[in-house]
Amino acid sequence: MNSKEHYVSRVTQLDAVELDDEIVNILKHQVANVAKFMPFGFLGRYDPEINAALRFVIWKFSVAKVYGTFGQQLLSMKYGGDLNKNKAELFALLTIGTRYLKERSHEVTNATGNFSLAQKMKLMFSWAEIFIHVANLMNLLIFLREGKYPTLVDRVLGLQPVSVAPPGQNRAVGYSYMTRELLWHGFIEFLIFAIPLINYHSVKRKLFNLMPWKKKRKDIAHRRAVYTLNTKCAACNEHPVIPHHMGCSHVFCFYCLKANVLADEKYECPLCGFSAGDATLVIPL
Ligand SMILES: [Zn+2]
Ligand SMILES: [Zn+2]
């Protein structure tokens, strides 16, 4: 095998590990949704068993079947080298078994029934945990240097993730889109800050007044408001609710007029262009 051709970059290998964890989380979320209808506390009591079962199912359909985890398959990788059935089973034991033992360590130590033995086992478990943490850290450091074996289990079993994509089509990670993303993010944050400072209503009024067909007919101002059965609100064109006016002959709903005048002090009547220019001038009929 040409190792150069099957080389996978470190970031892709780590991505695959992350994806595997995410897949477990997604399934776990689904199980939690289903368990909503079970008796209270069911999920908490059997959490380690459910985790182990989920991981076992995932293992059964990924590593045991096609010699690659789902995360690796998503990134067109698999376990290279001599992964056979025995090694796949050992892989399951190390990834699922140790996790299960860790989650149930409390029950396991208590089940011995002997207090001093239980204490000794507890100490052993905590030392084992520390050892595994340190080994994981060492493995990560060596992985960053060598680019092989992203997890401790991979190293113990000698399983190296390799690419299954045709040569030259390996997944390369480009960061140009991230820069663009950051720029857009910054721009949108600026807009979120700036837009509330602009009075949209007054900008709209000023723009409309620039339009050539807009003729001001101020002469209509200070006429008596005309209110008949057929009168419609000048703003919403419905029968006015709690009819009010602001000086011209047109009638508004109280809410339409008050809201518009509050938003823009120089609110103009949409029908005649009259503006009271005074937020207090909302007169009941
Ligand atoms: Zn109205
Ligand atoms: Zn009017």
Q: How far is the CA of 273 from the centre of ligand 2 (A)?
A: 6
Q: How far is the CA of 235 from the centre of ligand 1 (A)?
A: 5
Closest ligand to C-alpha of residue 226 is: 2
Average predicted confidence (pLDDT) for the chain: 84
Residue 184 lies inside a defined structural domain of this protein: no
The CATH number of whichever domain residue 284 belongs to comes to: 3.30.40
Closest ligand to C-alpha of residue 236 is: 1
In this prediction, residue 56 carries a pLDDT of 93
In this prediction, residue 215 carries a pLDDT of 61
In this prediction, residue 171 carries a pLDDT of 60
Confidence at 79, pLDDT banded by 50, 70, 90: confident
Rounded-to-integer distance, Cα 145 and Cα 249, Å: 82
In this prediction, residue 1 carries a pLDDT of 44
Q: How many domains does the chain have?
A: 2
What would the pLDDT profile of 24-62 be if each residue is shown by its tens digit? Answer: 999 999 988 888 887 777 778 888 888 899 999 999 998
Among 165, 182, 208, which residue terminates a domain? 165
Q: How far is the CA of 248 from the centre of ligand 1 (A)?
A: 15
In this prediction, residue 223 carries a pLDDT of 67
Residue 125 has pLDDT above 70, yes or no: yes
Residue 30 lies inside a defined structural domain of this protein: yes
Residue 2 has pLDDT above 70, yes or no: no
What would the pLDDT profile of 225-275 be if each residue is shown by its tens digit? Answer: 788 888 899 899 999 888 888 888 888 999 999 999 888 888 888 888 888
What would the pLDDT profile of 150-170 be if each residue is shown by its tens digit? Answer: 999 889 888 888 888 776 666
Closest ligand to C-alpha of residue 259 is: 1
Residue 235 lies inside a defined structural domain of this protein: yes
Q: How far is the CA of 217 from the centre of ligand 2 (A)?
A: 9
Same domain, 147 and 56: yes
Q: How far is the CA of 210 from the centre of ligand 1 (A)?
A: 25
Domain span including residue 222: 198-285
Rounded-to-integer distance, Cα 61 and Cα 119, Å: 39
Q: How far is the CA of 271 from the centre of ligand 1 (A)?
A: 13
Residue 222 has pLDDT above 70, yes or no: no
Confidence at 172, pLDDT banded by 50, 70, 90: low
Closest ligand to C-alpha of residue 246 is: 2
Residue 185 lies inside a defined structural domain of this protein: no
Mean per-residue pLDDT, 132-149:
91
In this prediction, residue 85 carries a pLDDT of 83
